Amino acid sequence: MKFGLHGQRGISFSSSAIDRGGLPPWRSRVVVFVVTVLFASLGARAFWVQVGNNQFYSEQGRKRVQRTIEVPAARGRIVDRDNRLLAMSQRAAGIFADPTEVPSDLPAETRARLAGLLGMSPADLAARLDPARSFVFLARQLPYERGEEIAALKIPGIYRQPEWQRVYPMGESAAHVVGFTGLEGQGQEGIELALNQQLLAQNGQRLVIRDRLGRVVEDRGLLRSPRDGAAVQLTIDSRLQHLAYSELRAAVERHGAKAGGAVVLDARTGEILALANWPSYEPNQRSKLRGEQLRNRVVTDLFEPGSTIKPLNVALALDRGMVRPGTVVDTLGGSMKLGGGYTVKDVSRSTSLSVADVLKKSSNVGMVQIMHRVPSQEMWLSFQRFGLGHAPSVAFPGTAAGWVRPAARWKPIEHATMSYGYGLSVSLLQMAQAYTVFAGDGAMRPVSLLSGQPGVPQHVVRPETARAVRDMLELAAAKASAVEGYRVGGKSGTTRKLVGGRYGAARYLSNFIGIAPLSNPRIVVAVTIDDPTKGGYYGGAVAAPVFSDIAAGALHLLGVAPDLHVQPLAASASATPAPAPAPAPKAALRPPAVPAGRAG
């Protein structure tokens, strides 16, 4: 018998009345075994974590605090031929929020300050910070300094990210050349789109350690260095670009026109020195941008060239030896029936004109007379050699090729109308390129927009033919195209517009394409004014003065010496002819028999 405390008799566990049946010895052994297995499992697991799979669990731990952040790189610059900036990137800030983290009791003055920096009202800010959201952008491409001010407020849930903002120093005057990018830095229009891959930057990567509040507490270094985009140099001259844009805009407004376009080419290389459109847009502020403003009309818009095509056709006839500048053409008093009730009429009522005067007076009848003996296939091939029907090789999206129906499908009436510029479609850029043939002594200079990448000159007509046409263009140039101190030559065109498939009443395109100075051509300037409603509509009255203003300014800016000390050559029988036999001097070209068709 055992005694407990205070002398009381104790009861042994083995003889307890609670367990009189005795405790099976295996139970204690099971308990010991289970505890042993548990501890062994914990040990094995600890061994596995610390030794066997240490790399995996270490990586998981790092992922919870280690972050890879982007190091922004700048998109490539766009510069003009003299390295003046056309597009650049500057540091900016994007502001975003996790509304669930923004304190509901944020002081009113702090909330008002944030709204002001974001450029919105407190009410708009409150709506954007709806707690039902977990992410919302509050602003993109804010000035970098403003982003710094927002960060200084230290508002929980408001975050800043580094961004780049694209800036266009020339604004609307070069908008159609340069284009613009979207918020994510991808090109959307113009050169920004066409050369997007070249301009794109490659962001770098940096490894950092963040604490539970998202703050960077350790910089582990660069994983990949940032790489800025490549710079792009254009053939554009910013001075000429601003000049062309300003003169074009003034002319469109002066004549109450719908739109207009102008392009200036280097006559020696084909490089585009200026390319302007109106209406335009402000690429630095596009909130009110309309689709109509985006149209690069010089490159994409097609029209029937009208009388501006006549020098190309005269060049073909001269080059084939069919006529000379002084060859007399029977112009039938300025009216010619083509059969089927169709009649071609001239403003001039002349009964006969020399080939030079056909250009000077822009006689449609005379052109039909000159070209009726030229086979359709040869006429079509000539258009091809002058670059019509082919898209110019420039880095622009949507560059138009124009349209010239294959010669095998021409009807006789189309042969007649194409002689004076109806029945085919061209762009203003194509026509400016075609006139480099006359400026370049018979070789066409393909247009180019990227500096250092001039096209290879392409032979089109003989040098003496080009010079003869150039002399005729001096006589054909409208008085309003004159440039003080310089010999200029060119051709105007007044084309009726197609409206709903028909030629509209009092709807015109007024065009002028010219060369200066003629003694040693330096520039080719082409101008179009769409739908003038005031101050006339003829190309010689509406577009020629714009040529004069642009050419005068361009020649001065380029430092081209005046050439009026050289006496103009009369484009008549005494002018230097293309070496070919001349037809009879009087009424040499008789009216052709043209079957029924439709005249323009």
Exactly one of 307, 352, 376, 510 is catalytic; name it: 307
Number of helices and strands in the chain (H, E): 20, 23
- Where on the phi/psi map is residue 320: left (φ > 0), alpha (ψ -120 to 50), or beta? alpha
- Write the DSSP symbol of residue 97: E
- Write the DSSP symbol of residue 258: S
CA nearest 386: which of 404, 369, 399?
404
Q: What is the DSSP string of 556-589?
A: HHTTPPP-TTSPPPP-STTS---SS----SSS-B
Q: How far is CA 161 from CA 12, 180, 455, in A?
A: 77, 22, 44
Radius of gyration of the chain (CA): 40
Tell me, letter by letter, the H, E, C secondary structure of 309-341.
Answer: HHHHHHHHHHHCCCCCCCCEEECHHHEEEEECC
Kindly tell me the sign of the dihedral angle through the C-alpha atoms of 373, 495, 293, 436: positive
Q: What is the DSSP string of 489-504?
A: EEEEEEEEEEETTEEE
What residues form DSSP beta bridges with 538? none
Angle, CA of 191, 138 and 207, to the nearest 5°: 75
Give the separation between CA 317 and CA 372, rounded to whole angstroms. Answer: 10
| Two structure tokens written together for 472 | 């005729």
Give the separation between CA 201 and CA 393, rounded to whole angstroms. Answer: 26
CA nearest 190: which of 399, 393, 392, 391?
399
Q: CB of 158 within 8 A of CB of 95?
A: yes
CA nearest 434: which of 389, 481, 464?
389
CA nearest 476: which of 454, 453, 493?
493
Angle, CA of 473, 314 and 555, to the nearest 5°: 25
Q: Where are the alpha helices (DSSP H) in 307-427?
A: 310-319, 355-360, 364-371, 376-385, 412-418
Known catalytic residue: 225?
no
Q: Which residues are the active-site residues?
A: 307
